[in-house]
Amino acid sequence: MRLTSNGIDLKMLEELSAKYRVPGITFRLIRGGAAEETIAFGIKNAKTGESMTPDTMFEAASLTKTLFATLVLRLVDRGIFSLDKPVAESAQEIRITDDDRIRQVTIRHILSHGAGLPNWADKPLSFLFDPGKGFSYSGEGYYYLQKIVELVTGKSFVDHLIDEFFTPLGMFNSAAIWTPSVRDRMSCKFDEKGVMFPLRDHVDLAGHAPEPNAAWSLYSGARDFSKFLLEILHHQGHLPASLFREMRSSQNKADEGVSWGLGLGIPAKDPSAVWHWGDNGGYRSFAVIDLSTGDGGCVFCNGAGGTDLGLELFSRITDGVFWAEVGRFLETAE
């Protein structure tokens, strides 16, 4: 996949914003391995009229999984975990189900969504299939692995992300849990009809997925997340070649057009490109990088139409032949 456009003009952004009812967008393109200027368009608050800025923060949602997967693979490299040893053996006191199949689940299963666990569900959890025998996108799997990582390492998920990514990569406009400082830099979110919701003013502890959470609680934006994409592109996530090869290779087939590596989506038509998306209601994001050409980028949106906006934007400015397949996968992914 290569970028075919010299840039994204204002006319295109105005058109996409109106078409998908997305009031605000930030994006950053990566061309030949170098990041271009971060562009901000539109507004982040309809009541105040406050404009979007390059450092505006969003709930990055499932883009969190890409950082967490990279962290876990670094811990595998350090000998703390094994890709194919059942993770329950490392922390038997963490119980999320009485089903004995939990004792078969490995890191490879979880990071490639092959564990058989649901996305989010009441506890105790019920398996959808035997581990390693299917694909089902699962936030529960990532959250379960987060608990094990924290117990075994004696270090919180928040501190892991700070030490492994935010500080060394200069991701100073990112966080792994809500704080008042995060709120001050956040965009509001908008639904399908363009109705704005007020900013959340507390840590989200509701439901089955409280934060901090390896499946969704990254707060970030296009400028910062592009730094992580460059880390993957130029430094292979600071992983040894063998582990990075596992990360970027198909481990589990989601459907005819999409397979999953370890924390990354891989299009069947162009396995040199790796991607992921984020979806927390009105917060939508999409990131892609071609590991051969060094082209890609990320887009963050504050409207529920942002997923479709991101797909159309990248389909317009790249020669990628896989966008339709990715779009079909996303229709039923969560």
Rounded to 5°, the CA angle 300-72-281 comes to 30
36, part of any domain: yes
Q: What is the pLDDT of residue 122?
A: 87
Q: What is the pLDDT of residue 9?
A: 86
Band (pLDDT 50/70/90 cuts) for residue 5 is: confident
- Strand positions, DSSP E, 101-204: 189-190, 196-197
Neighbours of 91 (CB within 10 A): 16
In a 10 Å sphere around its CB, with 0-12 CB exposed, 13-18 middle and 19+ buried, how is residue 279 labelled?
buried
Each residue of 232-251: pLDDT tens digit? 999 999 999 999 999 999 99
Specify the pTM: 0.97
Backbone angles phi, psi at 221, to 5 degrees: -160, -175
**Residue 333 predicted with pLDDT over 90:** no
120, part of any domain: no
Q: Which of 142, 119, 136 is nearest to 66 (CA)?
A: 142
Average pLDDT of the chain, as a whole number = 97
130, part of any domain: no
What is the pLDDT averaged over residues 135-151?
Answer: 98
231, part of any domain: yes
Distance separating alpha carbons of residues 56 and 40, to the nearest angstrom: 9
CATH code: domain of residue 234? 3.40.710.10
State the total domains in the chain: 1
Which sign does the torsion angle of CA 82, 86, 91, 96 carry?
Answer: positive
What is the pLDDT averaged over residues 124-150?
Answer: 97
**Residue 36 predicted with pLDDT over 90:** yes
143, part of any domain: no
Element (H, E) at 317: helix 306-317
- Percentage of the chain beyond pLDDT 90 is 96
164, part of any domain: no
Letter for the amino acid at 66?
T
297, part of any domain: yes
Reading the block at residue 323, the tokens are 């966008």
| Structural domain boundaries enclosing 324 | 10-59+179-213+221-332
Element (H, E) at 108: helix 107-111
User: Is 115:141 a contact under the CB 8 Å cutoff?
Assistant: yes
95, part of any domain: no
